[in-house]
Every structure is written in structure tokens, then in C-alpha cells.
Structure 1
Amino acid sequence: MEVSTKEDFSMRSSSRPNQDGDGGSRLVDVQKDPFLVRTLSSVLSGSGPRHSLVGIVLIMLGSFSFSCEFLFVKLMEGKANSFTVTFYRALVEIPIALWLCERRSIDDYIGPPRARAWLLVRGGMGAPAVLCFFYAIQHLPLPDAVTLQFTTPPFAAAFAVMFAGERWKLLDMIGAVVCLFGVMLIAHPTWLFGSEAPTEEGGDHAGENSMAAIVIGLLGAAFAGLAYTSVRMIGHDTSANVMVLYYAVMSVPVTMFGSKVCIGSWNVWHGGGNLGAWDWCWMVLTGLTAYAGQYLTNLGLQYETAATGTLATCSQIVFTYIFELVFLHELINVWSILGSLLIIGFMAIVGILKMKDADETMHETVAGEPEELALLFSAEHHNRYDCRMIDGSEPGNIA
């Protein structure tokens, strides 16, 4: 086969039409696309993915933004329940998603016909996932609740085996066991550790309420795993903005129905009547920081591989421990630290192992992010950067 230079390939790629999801064509300008430039350079040189300090910094800024979101949710503890917070967060995200769809000339807001059923599943699972996660944040120490979301990958792997026909890998099994032990350390139940478990004084999150919050947090991780599986079933021709729009729109009826079933009231917008000016400020900032985190992390992944991004997102735990000490003034439990280190340590090892895999450049998701962001990278990246190789072959599909 004729060997082409990078300059030749740049000119070909800039002028080659590319088929998008609705059958139209578009031009791929590699000069203006840093993610595609990095990927194609890796292919042409035969070397592995290059790692960018800029990308890592952007992903860590995204993690900081998400950590701020979690702090705002925690600050509304006792003022607004998780139904109200999720409801108003969705109201903030809907106009942003619509604006981004309009800005990117996405005319089909409801997605292609074949994907609409799975889009409904994605929204229907994403909304309760965030509800459960916010409940855990408001009833557990902040780092413990955030660590629970890192248990999503084993659930996602199990659902992928059941619904997507994928194989259960050794790493998935190890991850499930590690996450189980990590959660047990965070919960430190008395039936396992005894009544002398080393909890700190003032630890008002222990006992039955704490155990219920942990179970609900794990239920949220399971819902997030289902949302992840639905994204993989949707495929690559639906924009991530459309998927986020589905999540936000469906959050409105889901929160209202859940509020009626759980606390006997449809009125999720009232917030119990205890919301002050600062609480409304936290409410709006919850939605804004959620979308800012999505934007920064997506931008960072244009310069960095998803496996390295997995390591960068572990900084969320560091940020939340700092917030716990500085803003919430709560003592940190020794067992919680050990459980967090176990789960995050495993995620770090997974990230390092995946960094050695040159095929993962565009086709892996960042585990541990809030599900409406991290579990959409595969669809968004393939939709934006789908292109043909020099010899006419197709890039590998997402596993």
C-alpha cells in the first residue's frame, strides 16, 4: 500500500465527505480538531496515544466542577430533598441542552426512530440514578456518597452481559469483588465489624439511616449501569446532547411521580417551604456546575485518552474530602478512608492497564463520572469523529 505523509492525509481528510447519522455528508477538518489530530498522528506514527497535560488539567477541572455540584447538593440537606434538587437541576439543564443542540445544528431532538425506545430507557434510568445519588449525598458523609458512584462499572458490566451479549471478563469480576469490599468498609456494619468499629465522635451518619442511604446509593449505581447499557444499545448516530436532553426532560415526571410515591406529594417545586436565597443559589449552581463538568471533561478528552481520564477523575475523592473538612466540618471515618482507597485504587489500576492498550483511544468511557456524562463519551466521540482510515477501512467499533 502506498505510504502517505501526514500532510497528504490532512488534505485528504479535510476534503473527504463523511456520512453522519441521518445519511447526510460533512467535512472533517483535522486542522481544527485536536482530538482527531492526536488520534490520526498516533495511527500514522504507529505509536501509542500521546498524553497531554492540558487534557489532564481540563478533566481535573471537570472533576472539580462535579465536586462543587455535590457540595451544593449537600449544603441543601434539610432544606430541599433529592426530588426537589433533581427537578430544578433538570430545569436548568433543559434550556442548555436545547441551546447546544441548536448551536450544533441538531434538528432531530428526539433522535433517530430506531434509537428512541432506548433513549427513553436511558432517560428513565438516568433520572432515578441521579435521584438515588443525591439522596446518598444528603444522608452520608460527602466522600462516602461520591465513592459509591465509582461502583457503577461492575453493574454496567453485568448488564452488558445480559442485554448487549458481551462477555464477563476477569477484570469485571475482580472489580465487582473489590467494590463489594470497599462498600463494606464504608458501611462498616456492626454485624461484621462489631459494636466497637472505630467510628469518630459526632458520626451521626451511622446506624440504620446510614445503611439505607448506602443501599440507595448502590441502587443509583445500578440504575446508572442500566443507563450505560442503553447508551451502548443506542449506537453512534445520536448526539450526547440529545441523550442529556432526554434525561433532563424525563427527570421532571420521574421526580414528581417518585415524590408522590415516597413522600405523598406531587409538589417537588416547593422544596418544603424552607428554601432561602442561598438555597436557591445552590439549586441553580447545581445545574450549572453539572453541565460545566460535562463540558470540561469532554474538552479534556479531546486532548487525552479515556483511560488516563479515568485516573484524573479519581481527583473527585480528593476534592470531596477537602470540602468535607473545610466547608462541612465533619470528622472523617477511618473505615471510610480505607474503603475509598480500595475502590479508587482499583480504578487507578484499571486506568493504568488501559493506558497500555492502544486501541482504546476513542472507544472507552471514563468510569466513575456521574452517569449522564461519563457513560455518553463513546456515543458522542464516535458521532463527532467518525472517519475512514487511509486504506479505506473503518475504525474499530466500541467494544
Structure 2
Amino acid sequence: MSVVENPRRDEAGDTQRGVIRLVAAAVLFSGLSVLAKLVGARIPLPEVILVRSLVTVAFARGALARGDIPVWGTRRTMLALRGLFGFAALVCYFYGLMHLPIADAIVIHYIHPVFTLLLAALVLGEALDGRETVFIFGCFAGVVLVTQPPLLFGAAAAGSDPFALAVALLGALIAAGVYVMIRELRSTEHPARVVFYNALVAALLSAPWAWSTWVPPDAFEWTMLLTIGVCTFLHQQSMTVGLHQVRAGRATALGYVQVLLAMLAGIWLFAEEVNRVAWIGATVLAISAALLATDRKAGVTAAPRS
């Protein structure tokens, strides 16, 4: 039977391909995060952001050229705002990491799929699916158990910096807005163009910051920085195409896989200890993410080609 005669089958196939891309994006993000942690022992954060952004600009520009796709698009203001908000969300996240216990910062950041679910319903009219919502909250519960933030699990909450908490929460809200914007742009803008704008804005904004703290990388550090840039491009491309094919709330929740991968990387690469509660959380997270990934009820919209 042709695709036209059986549109539901085609939509389900596109959605599953979108899920695969989103999981691939989570794997890539985990990989570049490990590399960033290694190179960040000596290279300042703004320098890492600048180099990875410039590499991403080059690859995205090449993808646009190969497809003979106009660079600047039709919704330039929204594309630029996507880049600006993406950069702001990144800065808020790293500010939280620097001024809060890492577990608190991660858990606050990963509230963003819940915000995305609500914003997508309000802005895009994407109806809340009961089964999908349960899995999203299941993923978040797993993240809480894996990270065990002092804010919830200990007495450190009273000593937490209220301003840092507010910044981290603002970052999660901005991140949700970014994902909704990407979803909104799917009808007119090619994924490579969205990636190009995002990286270009990040490069322009991080350049003065990086210049003021520049540390000359050695050959090995340059290799890691360039690899981070390539992984960033592949991550952004996979994530953007996935968001074109999978509803925003479900799509962003699949990013919870990053927490599970980060935990495993910590065990294998950094000899980090994991207690029983964390293993329970990892199990809850893995099961919820798997059920979310195999849920075929979410809607799909094909990505534009120009």
C-alpha cells in the first residue's frame, strides 16, 4: 500500500525515526560532555563554547550549501532569538553548575521537559497525552533518584544560593522555550539553518568572553575541542530534526537518557561510586524512557526541505 493510502503508518515510521534521532542526540551530548569535562580542566568554558560554535557554523553552512538551501531563511528574527535564548539557557545552566551542588543544578535543569510539555500545549496546541505525561514524570523521578540533590535529599537546602537557584530555574524555563521555538520553526525552516543560526549567535556572543580568558590549547586539546565541535553539530542536527518529527514534550523528555549515560560514564571513566538509590533511579529512568520511546501515539510533522 502506498504512503498516501496509509498515512498513519508513514507518520508512525517518521515518529520512530525522530525518536532514534533524539536518542542519538542524547548519546552525542553525553559524549561531548565527557570531552568538555576533560578539556575543561585547563581550557576556560567560553573558549570551549566559542570553538565548538565555530566548528558547528562551518558544518551547518556546508550542509546548507550541499543542499542548495538559502542560508538566512524567512523567519530571521525567530531564528536569531532561538540562538540568543539557547545561549542564555546554556549560560544559566553553567552558572548553576558553578554555584550549586552539581546534583541540584542537573535536577533543576531537567525540569525543562515538564515546562516544554506545558508550553507546547499552550503555544503550539499540542494536546497533553496522559500516558506520555506519566512517562515524562517517571523519567524526572528517575533523574532525582540518580542525582540525589541535597536540595531534596539533605540539609544543604538552607545553605543554597537563592539567586543561583533562580538562575538555574530560569535556564530550565528558557530551554523549554527554545525547544518550543524549534518545533514552531519546523514548518518554514530547514533543520540545518536552525543549527547554523544557533551556532552563529553563540559564536558571536562568546567571542569577547573567550578572548578575555583565552588559554592557548596544545595539540591534544585542539583535537578534543574540534571533536567537541563535530559532536555538537551532529547533536544539534539530530535534535533539531527529531523535534521536527516528535511532539515537543515527548522529544525533550527523551533527553533524560543523557543522565543515565552520564552516570555510566562516571562509573567507567571517572571511577565514581553509585549507591543503591541511584541504581533504582537509573532503572526507573531507563524503563520510563524506553516506554516513552516506544509510544506510537505522538503526532508528527515532516521537516521542511528548504
Shorter-chain TM band: 0.7 to 0.9
Counterpart in 2 of 1:319?
261
Amino acid in the other structure paired with 2:303:
H
Question: Aligned residues, how many?
Answer: 300
Gaps of 5+ in 2: none
Contact 1:73–1:138 under 8 Å retained in 2:
no
Q: Among 16, 28, 32, which residue is 1:69 paired with?
A: 32
Indicate yes or no: 2:151 matched with 1:230: no
Please identify, of 66-75 and 165-174, the stretch whose mean Cα deviation from structure 2 is larger: 165-174
Counterpart in 2 of 1:328?
270
Indicate yes or no: 2:199 matched with 1:278: no
Q: Among 149, 164, 173, which residue is 1:188 paired with?
A: 149
Contact 1:81–1:135 under 8 Å retained in 2:
no
Amino acid in the other structure paired with 2:266:
E
Gaps of 5+ in 1: 7-39, 197-206, 257-265, 364-380, 386-399
Counterpart in 1 of 2:73?
111
Please identify, of 125-134 and 312-321, the stretch whose mean Cα deviation from structure 2 is larger: 312-321
SS of 1:105's equivalent? coil
Shift of 1:69: 0.7
Counterpart in 2 of 1:122?
82
CA distance in 1 between counterparts of 2:16 and 2:137 reads 33
Contact 1:124–1:250 under 8 Å retained in 2:
yes
Q: Among 323, 327, 351, which residue is 2:293 paired with?
A: 351
CA distance in 1 between counterparts of 2:173 and 2:57 reads 24
Gap change, CA 1:214 and 1:332, over 3 Å in 2 = farther
Contact 2:101–2:149 under 8 Å retained in 1:
no
Gap change, CA 1:295 and 1:248, over 3 Å in 2 = closer
Indicate yes or no: 2:117 matched with 1:157: yes
Indicate yes or no: 2:47 matched with 1:87: no
Shift of 1:146: 7.0
| TM-score, with length taken from structure 1 | 0.58
Contact 2:191–2:240 under 8 Å retained in 1:
no
Contact 1:123–1:246 under 8 Å retained in 2:
yes
Contact 1:154–1:172 under 8 Å retained in 2:
no
Shift of 1:72: 0.7
Shift of 1:383: 0.9
Contact 2:144–2:281 under 8 Å retained in 1:
yes
Q: Among 242, 245, 248, which residue is 2:193 paired with?
A: 242
Amino acid in the other structure paired with 1:95:
A
Deviation by residue 1:188-237 (Cα, 9 ceiling, x = unmatched): 326x54459xxxxxxxxxx858x988876554432221112222333512
Shift of 1:101: 0.8
CA distance in 1 between counterparts of 2:72 and 2:163 reads 36
Counterpart in 2 of 1:393?
none
What value does the CA root-mean-square deviation take over the aligned residues? 4.6
SS of 1:273's equivalent? coil
CA distance in 1 between counterparts of 2:126 and 2:90 reads 26
CA distance in 2 between counterparts of 1:172 and 1:50 reads 18
Contact 1:62–1:297 under 8 Å retained in 2:
yes
The structure with the larger Rg is 1
CA distance in 1 between counterparts of 2:212 and 2:226 reads 15
Deviation by residue 1:125-175 (Cα, 9 ceiling, x = unmatched): 112233444566788999997776654321112333454455666568657
Please identify, of 116-125 and 171-180, the stretch whose mean Cα deviation from structure 2 is larger: 171-180
CA distance in 2 between counterparts of 1:182 and 1:56 reads 20
CA distance in 2 between counterparts of 1:135 and 1:75 reads 19
Amino acid in the other structure paired with 1:382:
A
Shift of 1:290: 1.8
Contact 2:143–2:256 under 8 Å retained in 1:
no
Contact 2:46–2:209 under 8 Å retained in 1:
no
Shift of 1:79: 2.0
Contact 2:191–2:303 under 8 Å retained in 1:
no
